[in-house]
């Protein structure tokens, strides 16, 4: 591994309201360990007050921009506007912009797939659990894990809305054999797709 390289890529994922600048979702990450060959850097956004100051300045700066990437507070910030919200991915200046851009696209596209193209403040607040799970599937402890929105949505998608009727499950020997055959077929398909 090259000096200064780390899996830790993302400093924060933030969703802010464009109406009043309020925080809808914010998750800040700090490196879990010291990277060899680098100097120790404390997390500049360790408390809520510094986070809110950073977010306010970030919204003020990006509200006037129409690009996707800026350098703010010595950090690379990628952002996307969706209806009445701004989605941000923040990384250090040494990070790969393409990787961070794929991360912001994964967040945006996952939310579009989860909410059927209706990504706004109200939808995000009403489905906060799904938003949080989707972002956790994409970034965990500052490490980018997945950027394919279809995989993320499959992992996060809602449970069935109706209860399963247990009286309809066939627990006879034939029913269990059928279930085992179905599981074997699904496993075979899954293994073929993975290879």
Determine the pLDDT at residue 91. 92
Most confidently modeled range among 58-62, 132-136, 164-168 = 132-136
Determine the pLDDT at residue 19. 87
Where is pLDDT greater, at 69 or 158? 69
Domains belonging to the chain, first-starting first, are 10-156 (3.30.450.60)
> Is the pLDDT confidence value at 147 over 50?
yes
- Which uninterrupted H or E stretch holds 106? helix 97-114
Residue 87 · residue 15 · CB < 8 Å: yes
pLDDT, tens digit (0-9, with 9 covering 90-100), for 40-76:
455 677 888 999 999 999 999 988 778 889 999 899 9
Residue 74 · residue 94 · CB < 8 Å: no
């Amino acid at each position: 591994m090259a000096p200064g390289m780390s899996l830790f890529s993302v400093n924060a994922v933030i969703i802010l309201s464009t109406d009043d600048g309020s925080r809808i979702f914010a998750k800040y990450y700090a490196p879990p360990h010291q990277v060899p060959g680098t100097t120790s850097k404390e997390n500049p956004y360790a408390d809520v007050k510094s986070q809110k100051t950073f977010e306010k300045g970030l919204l003020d700066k990006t509200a006037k921009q129409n690009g996707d990437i800026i350098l703010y507070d010595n950090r690379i910030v990628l952002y996307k506007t969706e209806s009445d919200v701004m989605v941000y991915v923040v990384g250090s200046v040494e990070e790969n912009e393409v990787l961070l851009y794929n991360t912001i696209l994964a967040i945006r596209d996952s939310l579009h797939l989860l909410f059927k193209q209706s990504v706004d403040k109200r939808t995000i607040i009403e489905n906060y659990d799904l938003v949080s799970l989707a972002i956790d599937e994409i970034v965990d402890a500052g490490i980018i894990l997945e950027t394919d929105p279809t995989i993320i949505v499959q992992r996060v998608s809602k449970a069935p809305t109706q209860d399963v009727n247990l009286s309809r499950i066939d627990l006879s020997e034939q029913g269990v054999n059928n279930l085992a055959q179905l599981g074997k077929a699904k496993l075979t398909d899954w293994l073929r797709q993975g290879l």
